[in-house]
Structure 1
Amino acid sequence: MTPNTEWKKVAASIIAAVAFTVLCLVSYFFIDGMSGGFAIAFVSFFLAVSGVVIALLFFTRARTMDTILSDPSPLAHWIYADEMARASVEREYREFQGRNRAMFIIIGGMLAVVALVFFLFVGEGGLETGLFLLAVAAFLFVVSRVTPWLERRRAMGAPHEAVITRDGIVYEGSVYPFRSVLVFWHGVTLQGPKKKNPATLVFSFTQLVGRFIIQPFDVVVPVPAGEEERAGLVVQQLGGDMPAEK
């Protein structure tokens, strides 16, 4: 059975939020504001709040994953051959890279603009603060590149299975709740087989990135041969769309 590792992510997010909170307080009370203390405090506060939000996101994911894995009668429970699982992991790896790239452009771009303001318009402490902001942006860039690789490595070693219930999906060791923080599920579609590819269940989600930007993404769950009828029942149970008759 797939282990629930989401609780570890909750703990890591809380630790990060606490660390940035401490940095915010130290910079606000012990570093001169006009020498960069206010800027460091602002960025640290932003990252601390982000850590809390991410912790809430992982908390809902962890609880949902526990619920899905303990469901005695899921809508579907499929186990995949290694070749099918490998192809799916590679596809999701590319999609993860795209989502991380979009998030870094927003957050990293904001940090770069603020750093430029300090370089150009702030005298004492402006250079140091700008360099600190650029260092944070560089760190986020590394994280945005490394996390998809780590996720790909994790998925390759995870149990090659999919569990679908009315609460969400556990697929390749990852959970996708239908009700979550910042992530919204919009429906499921059954797509017929194409060439050598099997039929798939496509679960459509959107993720709120920043305040106004919505990033869509799909979770594509392959349907094992002979399980097409059950896949159709899953779609009906969840109120999704069936493929059009030819």
Structure 2
Amino acid sequence: MIFVPELVGIDGMKGGFALSFASLFIALITAIVGVFYLGFSKEVAKILRGEGVLAHWTYTSDYWLIYAKEEYKEEKSEKKELFLIVTGFALFFGTLFWILDEEAGFIVFLVMLSLIGIVAFAWQFSAWHNYKLNIGGVKEAYITRDAIYMNRKLYTWDMVLTSFDEVSQKDHDSLSLLVFRFTSATRTGPQTYKIRVPIPPGQEEAAKRIAEEINGSGRIAGFEPRTNGDVSHKTSLSHAFSNFMKTQIANCSFKKIVFKLKF
């Protein structure tokens, strides 16, 4: 596509240059995404080989079903706040426009009601869709110091502009969880992610040791842990740039650092 305008005789000043530039841009983005996707694939391959793995847990169907249902409730609850905020703004501005201009404002009000309906559908459907994926997923999880590979999804905080917050252990009536929290700088500001990993029955003490080890080695990606206010570089400039590009690509996909890599 880069050389098509010249081959078919499209004048550069009549769109030829624009077409070539757009083609070049798409080619570069495709190449970058391909390179880093390959990098993530290699990272998953290392985990599957057992390199740096702190725990590899498998679950019974009954226990995984309990986890999937609990995850479904948690996801709906977390997204409910966003839905209520959108609903409040939509109703406020819809009503305001209706008061200011009865005829045109009524149309705006209907549009706002439609927006509420779309957001409500997205809220319910996304939670339900993830629940179905969990139900039919792979009932196992791998935990390393800087990543989780669970149900064929990779979650990682080993990237520049990403900081690990903490991992905590939470117990429900019939379910124990390790809850991982990390924050990444995105285009819209800091975004905190929470990943819940079920603890198999009998592995509570092992989970406690894992939490202590990971919390003890908490880091800002690309740097060594802070000591007395000093931060020493962990990686070379080229590695830091590589991690930065990984972060940007990750932030462009579904607003969540999740890479579905199937083997």
- Equivalent position amino acid for 2:111 in 1: F
Give the direction of change, closer, same or farther, for the CA distance of 1:187–1:223 in structure 2 (3 Å limit): farther
Q: Paired residue for 2:224?
A: none
**Larger helix proportion, structure 1 or 2?**
1
- The counterpart of 1:101, out of the listed 69, 80, 101, is 80
Distance of 1:194 and 1:126 partners within structure 2: 48
When structure 1 is superposed on structure 2, of 150-159 and 168-177 the one drifting more is: 168-177
Distance of 1:183 and 1:146 partners within structure 2: 29
**Aligned: 1:201 with 2:178:** yes
Give the direction of change, closer, same or farther, for the CA distance of 1:64–1:204 in structure 2 (3 Å limit): farther
Q: Paired residue for 2:215?
A: 239
Q: Paired residue for 2:44?
A: 69
The answer to whether the Cα contact below 8 Å between 2:98 and 2:104 also exists between their aligned partners in 1 is no
Q: Paired residue for 2:70?
A: 91
Shift of residue 69, structure 1, vs aligned partner: 2.2
Aligned counterparts, 1:191-230, within 5 A: 197=175, 200-204=177-181, 219-225=196-202, 228-229=205-206
Distance of 2:93 and 2:161 partners within structure 1: 26
Shift of residue 84, structure 1, vs aligned partner: 1.2
Shift of residue 180, structure 1, vs aligned partner: 7.9
Distance of 2:162 and 2:192 partners within structure 1: 9
Q: Which has the larger radius of gyration?
A: 2
Q: Paired residue for 1:113?
A: 92
Alignment: residue pair count: 175
Distance of 2:153 and 2:214 partners within structure 1: 20
- Equivalent position amino acid for 1:159 in 2: V
Shift of residue 122, structure 1, vs aligned partner: 2.5
- Equivalent position amino acid for 2:135 in 1: M
Deviations 1:36-88 (A, max 9, x none): xxxxxxxxxxxxxxxxxxxxxxxxxx899646523341222222111111111
SS of residue paired to 1:125: helix
SS of residue paired to 1:239: helix
| TM-score (normalised: structure 1) | 0.56
Unaligned runs of 5+ in 1: 1-61, 242-246
| Percent of residue pairs identical | 23
SS of residue paired to 2:84: helix
- Equivalent position amino acid for 2:198 in 1: V
The answer to whether the Cα contact below 8 Å between 2:167 and 2:214 also exists between their aligned partners in 1 is yes
**Which of 1 and 2 has higher RCO (CA within 8 Å, sep 6+)?**
1
Q: Paired residue for 2:126?
A: 147
Alignment RMSD: 3.9
Give the direction of change, closer, same or farther, for the CA distance of 1:226–1:179 in structure 2 (3 Å limit): closer
Unaligned runs of 5+ in 2: 1-36, 218-263
Shift of residue 232, structure 1, vs aligned partner: 4.5
Aligned counterparts, 1:156-175, within 5 A: 156-175=135-154
| TM-score (normalised: structure 2) | 0.53
- Equivalent position amino acid for 2:45 in 1: S
- Equivalent position amino acid for 1:150 in 2: H
Shift of residue 202, structure 1, vs aligned partner: 3.0
Deviations 1:201-222 (A, max 9, x none): 23246799xx899988562421
Distance of 2:39 and 2:142 partners within structure 1: 12
The answer to whether the Cα contact below 8 Å between 1:68 and 1:165 also exists between their aligned partners in 2 is no
Q: Paired residue for 1:46?
A: none
